[in-house]
Amino acid sequence: MKELTSEEYYNKVYGSWLGRVAGDFVGVPVELKSYKNIKVKYGNITNFPEPIDLNHVNDDEMYEIIALIALEKYGIDITAEKIALEWVNLLKREDYVFTAEKIALNNLKAGIQPPHSGIVNNFYFDFIGAQMRADIWGLITPGCPNLAKNYAEIDGSISHAGIGIEGEVFIAVLISQVFFEEDIRHNIDTALQYLPSEKESLYTQMVKKAVNIYELYPNDFRVARKILIREFWKKEMVEKVLNSSSVFPIERRIFLNTRLGGVHVLPNIGLIILALLYGAQDKQDPFGKSICIAAMMGYDTDCNCGNIGAILGARLGADNIPAKWKEPLQDTFSTYVKGYDKWKISELSRRVANVGQSVIQKKCKNGVKLVK
């Protein structure tokens, strides 16, 4: 039986949210910008690339806020239908809803419920959207990765399918495990056990490919990044991605061959893995190093840096995150969720931890115990 004090648990949830928000602010200025332009303009990123605007709203966290509200409203035996209902009720700015989530929201408004809302007319079912909103499911299931997987599958089915949902599962499991597993490499290897086999899953293949590339080039993340991106864009891999669904192959090929190709889940999880592994080499600030490496590697950087910040923030806890990353945030968080525009990150974390305590007590009885 694993034990966690209430204070330790809250501190790690708070650390995860600080990491998520800090990661966003590192990643936003370089989101979907070319790798070369990022390198020319920012060089070796070691801090926030641009001054922080505390009123800035990122679409990534809106869905986690809605998930929290749904959990508080309907209870911890939440369903995809209940979370989806709150999407319809609470998403304030539809111009901030993109790709798979946009199509899913339209489906929901037309009366199409999960899992069909994630499939019907959805060209983007395997893009990054489900993966980006995975953090909360790991946070409310510390040390209970099976539960993290279950929650992530429920949430993912609203807007995604296949490897799109696998991305949400993988990140949720990483966060669930990091409460008790500090070794990032071991955490990655263990989290793979909650995904389909390498033979069955392109996602599993990409995670293992990223690990292998790191092992071949442990001293140069830029070389590793070049090889990983080249591997993703090989004709064989692109055809596998396109053939993963018989629906809308022409439209999917068009989207992959445009700027939106940078929003696909596969290259982005590869970059997350590389950033986590290279950043772990920095003994003074692996948290900041991993986030900054992810920003320098490009693609969907706000999602990637945010997920990394959430993983490593939970690993460290708020107290151990270096001041340079948390003090500029001023404990402030903004969102476009109706009635929930402004938050204190500490208060948001407290509410997540309150839900998590209920999950631990009622669903993690044989895995984790909260102690005084």
Q: Give yes or no for residue 274 having a pLDDT over 80.
A: yes
Q: Give yes or no for residue 238 having a pLDDT over 90.
A: no
Q: Average of pLDDT values for 120-137?
A: 95
AA letter at 340: Y
Helix (DSSP H) and strand (DSSP E) numbers for the chain: 19, 4
Task: Please give the span between the terminal C-alpha atoms of the chain, in angstroms, as a whole number.
Answer: 15
Task: State how far the Cα of 342 lies from the Cα of 237, in Å rounded to an integer.
Answer: 42
Q: Could you tell me if 67 and 136 are in contact, meaning their C-beta atoms sit under 8 angstroms apart?
A: yes
Q: Average of pLDDT values for 324-328?
A: 97
What pairing do the DSSP bridges indicate for beta strands 2-5 and 368-371? parallel
pLDDT grade for 141, boundaries at 50, 70 and 90 = very high
Task: State how far the Cα of 337 lies from the Cα of 90, in Å rounded to an integer.
Answer: 5
pLDDT grade for 239, boundaries at 50, 70 and 90 = confident
What pairing do the DSSP bridges indicate for beta strands 342-344 and 332-334? antiparallel
Token pair 């505390």 is found at 54
Q: State the burial class of residue 323 (Cβ atoms within 10 Å of its Cβ: 0-12, 13-18, 19+).
A: exposed
Q: Average of pLDDT values for 18-41?
A: 97
Tell me the pLDDT tens digit for each residue of 71-93: 999 999 999 999 999 999 999 88
Q: Mean of the per-residue pLDDT values for the chain? A: 94
- Coil/strand/helix, residue 89: helix
- Coil/strand/helix, residue 38: helix
The pair of three-digit structure tokens given for residue 173, joined into one six-digit string: 């499991």
Query: What pLDDT is recorded for position 253?
Result: 78
Q: Indicate the range of 88-92, 137-141, 317-321 predicted with least confidence.
A: 88-92
pLDDT grade for 262, boundaries at 50, 70 and 90 = confident
AA letter at 180: F
128 vs 366: which has the higher pLDDT: 128
pLDDT grade for 251, boundaries at 50, 70 and 90 = confident
Q: Give yes or no for residue 265 having a pLDDT over 90.
A: yes
The DSSP secondary-structure symbol of 272 reads H
Q: Give yes or no for residue 256 having a pLDDT over 80.
A: no
Q: Average of pLDDT values for 355-370?
A: 90
Q: Give yes or no for residue 183 having a pLDDT over 90.
A: yes
Tell me the pLDDT tens digit for each residue of 277-302: 999 999 999 999 999 999 999 999 99
Name the residue range of residue 252's domain. Answer: 2-371
pTM above 0.85, yes or no: yes
Task: State how far the Cα of 85 lies from the Cα of 128, in Å rounded to an integer.
Answer: 22
CATH of residue 196's domain is 1.10.4080.10
Q: Average of pLDDT values for 229-256?
A: 82
CB neighbours (10 Å) of residue 344? 12
Within 112-233, residue ranges assigned H as helices are 129-132, 135-139, 145-156, 163-178, 184-191, 202-216, 221-232
- Coil/strand/helix, residue 332: strand
Counted domains in the chain:
1
Token pair 């500029």 is found at 328
